[in-house]
Amino acid sequence: MNERSHDEIKELIAAYALGALPDDEIRIVRAHILECDECMAEADDYLEAASSLALSVKPVEAPTGFEERVISRARGSIGDSLVRPLPSLRRRLAPAFAIGILSLLSLALVAVTFATRSDLESTERIATALLRSDGIELAGEAGAVGKLVETQEGATLVAAGLPEVRADRTFQLWFLEEGADPVSAGTFDASGDLSVLETGVTFEGFAGAAVTIEPAGGSDQPTSDPVISSG
């Protein structure tokens, strides 16, 4: 049933951009546009047009007490995020910060950019974590490698040699367990040779891990083959 022609899938792209596809067809379209430049460009155009629809909506004054109710819930929710990806925003705004942990990993990596003090502390924690010997090693084609290490803060992934991806694509880490769907552990960008993802969740109980390339924002389930995996 998944054997759809290019033309058949092309007909579904507008519905995809509007969020008007059934789940099974969403996966088919996503998998196709990752491979097809023409359909990718068309999807980008339609997504832009679809997002403009939202701007036509008339603002409505929120109910009395709305803000306080949100704040109350926010106070109760700090730290309960499923994933805590290293925000790309901070790296983008940051000066480059070179860190020489090449020898620790035997990876062909050079630099990673971090900004704030907490990021620097984070870097130290990552470097320390990398020294531990009980990490899960991941590998892929063309020398792409990664190491997943369990820390007190949750599992941290460091990867190097990942392929370049489009600006509207992201890497996504998955925890794997036999007989169950992969569980997302967060998304990350590979802005330098070294990529770091602090998941904030434990790897315990899982049998393996893999990284795939997904549309920006990540996917509910993998839509492409792993670029690195624990094999």
Partner 1 sequence: MASDPEVDLVEGLLARDEGALRRVMAIHAGAVYGMARRVLGESTMAEEVAQDTFLALWRRPGAYDPERGPLKAFLLGVARNKAIDAVRKEQGVRRTKEELVAGFESELAVGVADSTFQRAAEATEVRKSLGMISAVQREAIVLAYFGGRTYREVAEELGIPEGTAKTRLRDGLKRLKEVLDTDGRR
- Interface residues with partner 1 (CB under 8 A) are 11-15, 17-22, 45-46, 48-63, 66-67, 69-71, 73-75, 77-78, 80-81, 83, 85-90, 92-93, 167-168, 216-217
Cα 91 to Cα 190: distance, rounded to the nearest angstrom: 11
Cβ of residue 175: shortest distance to partner 1, in angstroms? 18
Cβ of residue 99: shortest distance to partner 1, in angstroms? 21
H helix or E strand, kind and range, residue 148 = strand 145-151
The four Cα atoms 53, 224, 25, 15 give a dihedral, to 10 degrees, of 20
Cβ of residue 208: shortest distance to partner 1, in angstroms? 25
DSSP-H helix ranges across the chain: 6-10, 13-17, 23-35, 37-54, 66-75, 88-92, 102-105, 117-131
Nearer to partner 1, 170 or 230 (CB): 170
Cβ of residue 178: shortest distance to partner 1, in angstroms? 29
Nearer to partner 1, 26 or 107 (CB): 26
Cα 98 to Cα 110: distance, rounded to the nearest angstrom: 7
Nearer to partner 1, 4 or 90 (CB): 90
Nearer to partner 1, 81 or 128 (CB): 81
Are 203 and 146 in contact by the 8 Å Cβ rule? The answer is no
Q: Which of 169, 187, 226 is nearest to 43 (CA)?
A: 169
Cβ of residue 194: shortest distance to partner 1, in angstroms? 18
Are 211 and 138 in contact by the 8 Å Cβ rule? The answer is yes
Q: Determine the Cα angle at 31 with ends 39 and 156, to 5°.
A: 125
Cβ of residue 131: shortest distance to partner 1, in angstroms? 27
Cα 168 to Cα 41: distance, rounded to the nearest angstrom: 11
Nearer to partner 1, 107 or 171 (CB): 171
Nearer to partner 1, 21 or 136 (CB): 21
